Structure 1
Amino acid sequence: MTPTTPVEPDTRAPRPPRTTRRPRRARAAERPVLGRTRLPWRIAGYTLIIALASLYVLPFVIQLATSFKTDPDAAANPLALWPGTPTAAAYQRLFGIAESHETVPFLRWLGNSALVTVLVTAGRVLFDSMAGYALARLRFPGRRLLFVLLLAVMAVPGVVLLIPKFLVLSTFGMFDTYAGMVIPLLVDAAGIFIMKQFFESVPREVEEAARIDGAGVFRIYWSVVLPMARPALITLTILSFQGSWNEFTHFLVSTQSAEYETLTTGLARFVAGGLGSGTQYPLKLAAAALSTIPVAILFFCFQRYFIRGANAGSVKE
């Protein structure tokens, strides 16, 4: 006979009987109806958002409506959202279509603004990205001190630098020239900071692989890293375009002749009464409305890249 091994008794606790799963409708009926309790708060939130958005959009609507009014209508009903007698006389006068004894050099302002904005935007995208890559990847003596000085420059108000800018431009013979309008704006501390933060989020393995293949520093920057920085570059482009298009204080201290007036300086002189008498609200607001169109088009076309690039610096690999 073969000996049998003793069987140990099962000391585990007995499992509770498995209950049948209730239908989904019965479980949903027992849950608290959160949607109904949240509905009033949601309606109140949407109402508040719509009210704030309307409050923000209202000045632009009034501006657009006033630009199609006549001078007496604009003076009598300044807040009317619809012109009494719609007319495009203000726009015709701005573009030189309507004959008038008081000419407005709007096309010259527009050309100067477009020229300066294109040059400044291209320069900032190039130089800010190069400086940002150098601060993010290159190791050289004084790199941290240079970054601290960069942050210090960002903390200085621009109004403080108006007199030094005027003195420097006068000393170098660049006052009242296109060079004096463009060169001091070619590099921006905020743009360097944005590009530095983005380049630090790029994996170093990509650059090491390119370095193994024999690429130099500039080749890695131009052919490898820069194409990956498209969201940050678009963000920098939008900010540079908007900043140079709406720049006023720098052009105020760097130019004097009417030949170099931009939209901002020209409109400021126009609003101050330098081009004729009377309020001329339709003409002024028509020029202001036209000056906002390029920035609005650029932002709405690239807003998703702008949001992505603004958040790119907070992600670290």
Structure 2
Amino acid sequence: MLTKRVKISNIFVHLFLWIGIVFVAFPFLWMILSSFKSLPDFYQFGLLPEKLDISSYKYIFAETEYVRWYANSFLIAVTVTITNLLFCGLIGYTFAKFDFKGKRIWFVVILSTMMIPTEMLVIPWYVISSELNWIDSYWGIMFPGIIEAFGVFLMRQFFSGVPNDTLDAARIDGMGEFRIWWKIAMPQVKAALSALGILTFLGNWNAYLWPVIVTTTSDMRTLPVGISLYGTSDAGGIQWNTIMGMSTLAVVPMIIVFLIFQTRIVEGISLTGGK
């Protein structure tokens, strides 16, 4: 009797999950299929295109600055990810393995910044960018994300689990502190580095609010900003099939990152909760 109840409950659980998958996947599937429709076909009722049409993709590469926006997003996401891994790794290691005056206070100050909404930070960010002539520049887009409080917290938690005896043995062998951090400590927190790198890359790839504020020319736009402004600036009418094509191409790097590092994502997040 108990076995039957378990089987019935499993059926309902799987049914519920499949319904959830349909609701989540349908808009994504509709976006991809719509990108292969002509504009008249787009307004016709039906999920599948009457005829495969790649005119939207031809228009994207021939008539828009999409490649430039793509390159901007990729450069910014990769750069910010690398700097986050390096700086958050260094700061997290320092908080985990060294004692200094005000250590607890500074760590609390860093964590407290996580409670401040981004919308409240854009004004001081803009003032800083304006004073330093960073408006409409790569550095102006990137500097708010160079070091993030979450990354410092995550790396500090993982470095706390690295045995001190291992680090002391390296010091006895004559290794410097920086080399100990790079050669001994960093390889032992690969799961945290992978999780932080993936989350940082995806977050900066999809960033919209700050890039749309700090950029003023089309050449400096990132993908979310370029797609959004393109969809609202077409005086001849919105070409929805083209926007669907842009959006489809925009998710390709995220899918690649997920397929390659999906086990690292789950491992890193689960270990973060355990820590």
The 3-state SS of whatever aligns with 2:3 is: helix
1:92 aligns with 2:58: yes
The 3-state SS of whatever aligns with 1:229 is: helix
- Contact 1:232–1:306 (CA<8 Å) still a contact in 2? no
Segments of structure 1 that go 5 or more residues without pairing to the other structure are 1-32, 97-102
* Residue 315 (structure 1) shift: 4.8
* Residue 314 (structure 1) shift: 4.7
- Contact 2:65–2:219 (CA<8 Å) still a contact in 1? no
1:311 aligns with 2:270: yes
Q: Distance in 2 between matches of 1:180 and 1:288?
A: 25
CA deviation vs aligned residue, 1:179-199 (integer Å, no higher than 9, x gap): 212223211111111111111
* Equivalent in the alignment of 2:256: 297
- Contact 1:177–1:260 (CA<8 Å) still a contact in 2? yes
- Contact 1:197–1:314 (CA<8 Å) still a contact in 2? no
Matched ranges for 1:1-317 at <5 A: 33-77=1-45, 80-96=46-62, 103-272=63-232, 274-315=233-274
Q: Distance in 2 between matches of 1:95 and 1:251?
A: 22
The 3-state SS of whatever aligns with 2:43 is: helix
Q: Report which of the two has the higher share of helix.
A: 2
Percentage identity across aligned positions?
31
The structure whose RCO (Cα within 8 Å, separation 6+) is larger is 2
CA deviation vs aligned residue, 1:109-154 (integer Å, no higher than 9, x gap): 1111111112111111111111111111111111111111111100
* Residue 34 (structure 1) shift: 3.0
Query: Which structure: larger Rg?
Result: 1
Task: Give the residue type in structure 2 aligned to 1:300.
Answer: L
* Residue 207 (structure 1) shift: 1.1
The 3-state SS of whatever aligns with 2:251 is: helix
Task: Give the residue type in structure 2 aligned to 1:179.
Answer: W
Change (3 A) 1:314 1:64: closer
Q: Distance in 2 between matches of 1:203 and 1:185?
A: 30
Task: Give the residue type in structure 1 aligned to 2:203.
Answer: G
Q: Distance in 2 between matches of 1:196 and 1:176?
A: 34
- Contact 2:76–2:204 (CA<8 Å) still a contact in 1? yes
When normalised by structure 2's length, the TM-score is 0.95
Q: Kindly report the root-mean-square deviation, in angstroms, between the aligned alpha carbons of the 2 structures.
A: 1.4
- In terms of mean alpha carbon deviation, does 245-254 or 34-43 score higher? 34-43
The 3-state SS of whatever aligns with 1:95 is: helix
* Residue 81 (structure 1) shift: 2.3
The 3-state SS of whatever aligns with 1:76 is: coil
Task: Give the residue type in structure 1 aligned to 2:15.
Answer: T
When normalised by structure 1's length, the TM-score is 0.83
Segments of structure 2 that go 5 or more residues without pairing to the other structure are none
* Residue 306 (structure 1) shift: 1.7
Number of residue-to-residue matches in the alignment: 275
Q: Distance in 2 between matches of 1:128 and 1:296?
A: 25
- Contact 1:165–1:253 (CA<8 Å) still a contact in 2? no
After superposing on structure 2, the runs of 4+ consecutive aligned residues of structure 1 that deviate more than 3 Å are: 313-316
* Residue 60 (structure 1) shift: 0.2
The 3-state SS of whatever aligns with 1:139 is: coil
CA deviation vs aligned residue, 1:148-186 (integer Å, no higher than 9, x gap): 111110010001111111111001111111221222321
Task: Give the residue type in structure 2 aligned to 1:114.
Answer: F
